[in-house]
Chain A
Amino acid sequence: MTITTREDEERLRLLESVILNTTDGVLIAENDHNQDSKIVFVNEAFIKMSGYNKEEIIGLSPIGFFAPDASSDELAKLKDAIDKCEPCNIVVKTSKKNGTKYWVNVSVAPVSDGSGGFKHWVYIQRDVNNRRRHLQALEEQNKKLKEIAWIQSHVVRAPLARIMGLVDLLSEHHDSEELSNNQIIEAIASSANELDNIIRKIVQNTENVQNQSSL
């Protein structure tokens, strides 16, 4: 055994340890005769993530693995990249063995065989479920804030506009059969109460949004 070979072995062992120890799920698929490919290697992280054992995964088609839950757009993107022997990156929903759905980012890359052909594919799958949930929570919060802005514009200004108009009338020493000064004062008082209630409701809603965001 030459020194160079030992160095090569050392390098290979290091590279292998990356695949074995990473928290990203790794699959290696090999092209078969039917222009499809089958999984020939799966790392521990993928087994843990998916809930399937090694025997259940080896031999499967990787596309078949993602097909049941992935959107047709993402699946088409993956098939297209495989046809063209190009790398691609997709975000898909997938199922664990126990049926739980979760979101993963999958990057797929062809591996050159050194003589211009591609026989193997590497699939690296990262769990993005938490990120996805955070994003959904943020979108939900944005929606609530927009609702609050809408209430401010439409609902808060309604009694306020009434008060402004009524005060205008009073200050112009208006007196007509439509509205007596006493009626105007009563209307100002009830509008002020209405405004007070609306503001309390907005504060309540805002507190609810804040509580949700701290969960």
Chain B
Amino acid sequence: MNLNVLIVDDDKMITLLHKVMVVKTKICTTPPLLFSDGKMALEFLLSEYNPEERYLVLLDINMPVLNGWEFLDSIQPERFANNLFVIIVTSSVDSSDKLKAKTYPQVIGFLEKPLRSESCEFIKTMPSIAPFFA
């Protein structure tokens, strides 16, 4: 089964960098989808979501329109059940953000920008999504 990767970040250069990284480290086999704010990613999920598919969202916190927290508040865990995983990828090194992230069941990880080869390899070992890379 393929893992659809959504990269959500208002920094265009970061979305490009992360795209290159997830492709290079083979986190996804189909090209990742890039979104410049939470609202665009949410609209995509609400209209295109397929329960047969699995989604991995690499989510920035600090974004205009709909920020990372608002995006998390808007995705109902019941609807996306076990098919949607979120990894927060932020430039923040603020520990309160890390604690807040833990309160969302969909969040399976919290990484600091930039995503490097090592962080991508680490993503592949996260228990909830490791089976995709076995």
Interface residues of A (CB under 8 A from B): 149-150, 153-154, 157-158, 160-162, 164-166, 168-169, 172, 174, 176, 178-179, 187, 191
Contact = CB atoms under 8 A, between A and B. Distances in A.
A162 B93 contact: no
A166 B13 contact: yes
A198 to B, nearest CB: 12
Interface residues of B, number: 23
A161 B116 contact: no
Interface of B: 11, 13-14, 16-21, 24, 61-62, 91-94, 97, 112-117
A178 B11 contact: no
A178 B20 contact: yes
29 contacts: A150-B94, A153-B97, A154-B61, A154-B91, A154-B92, A154-B94, A158-B11, A158-B62, A160-B91, A161-B91, A161-B114, A162-B11, A162-B13, A162-B113, A162-B114, A164-B116, A165-B17, A165-B18, A165-B114, A165-B115, A166-B13, A169-B17, A169-B20, A172-B117, A174-B20, A178-B16, A179-B16, A179-B20, A191-B13
A169 B18 CA distance: 11
Contact of A161 (B14, B24, B94): B14
Given A157-B112, A165-B17, 19 more contacts: A150-B94, A153-B94, A153-B97, A154-B61, A154-B62, A154-B92, A161-B14, A161-B91, A162-B11, A162-B13, A162-B17, A164-B113, A165-B14, A165-B18, A165-B113, A165-B114, A168-B114, A172-B117, A174-B20
